[in-house]
Amino acid sequence: MDLPHDSGFPIDVRVPTDVRLIEPLVGLVTRQCAVRQLSPRACNLRVPVALTEALSNAMLYGNREDRSLSVRLRARLDEVSLVLEVVDEGTGFDMEACTIDPTGPEHLEREDGRGLFLMRTLMDRVERFTDGGNVVRLTLHRA
């Protein structure tokens, strides 16, 4: 699967459900964020961690690792904010019910359950809605 070259924003790409594609997708977005002078903290920490979690959740939980299904990544960056949308072909989920505090004693040894918590901690806004698929929208405002 060839990803688009670093041609800039907006980014709109659909890929098969394959976790090996997460790192190249995240790299594509973070490189463009750096070129457009989003803060180093955003480019090196906030965006890659949150986007990795969103793509992982879409592939592992939304599409249930079904390689016949796809994940779509839409990204745009303007003077005000970066908006990332990850769309899967799953049935959706209740974001409040699925967000746990992984620092609670009953969750410390679990390997899962941290994705939504991290996204909400690192991004300014995290939304979930349906629009031709299950969409998770991450918004990060410029400093």
129, two tokens: 């809605």
Residue 81 neighbours by CB distance under 10 Å: 14
Identify whether the C-beta of residue 29 lies closer than 8 Å to the C-beta of residue 84. yes
Which residue, 84, 92, 88, is CA-closest to 122?
84
Placement of tokens 């004693």 in the chain: 105
What distances in angstroms separate CA 71 from CA 12, 96, 103, 130, 134, one per listed residue? 11, 22, 30, 14, 10
Residue 8 phi, psi dihedral angles, 5° rounding = 105, -175
pLDDT of residue 117: 86
pLDDT attached to residue 139: 98
CA distance 130 to 109: 32
Map out the domains of the chain with their CATH numbers.
11-141 (3.30.565.10)
Q: What is the pTM of this model?
A: 0.88
pLDDT tens over the chain, length 143 residues: 667 667 789 999 999 999 999 999 999 999 999 999 999 999 999 999 999 999 999 999 999 999 999 999 999 999 999 999 999 999 876 666 555 566 666 654 555 556 788 999 999 999 999 888 899 999 999 97
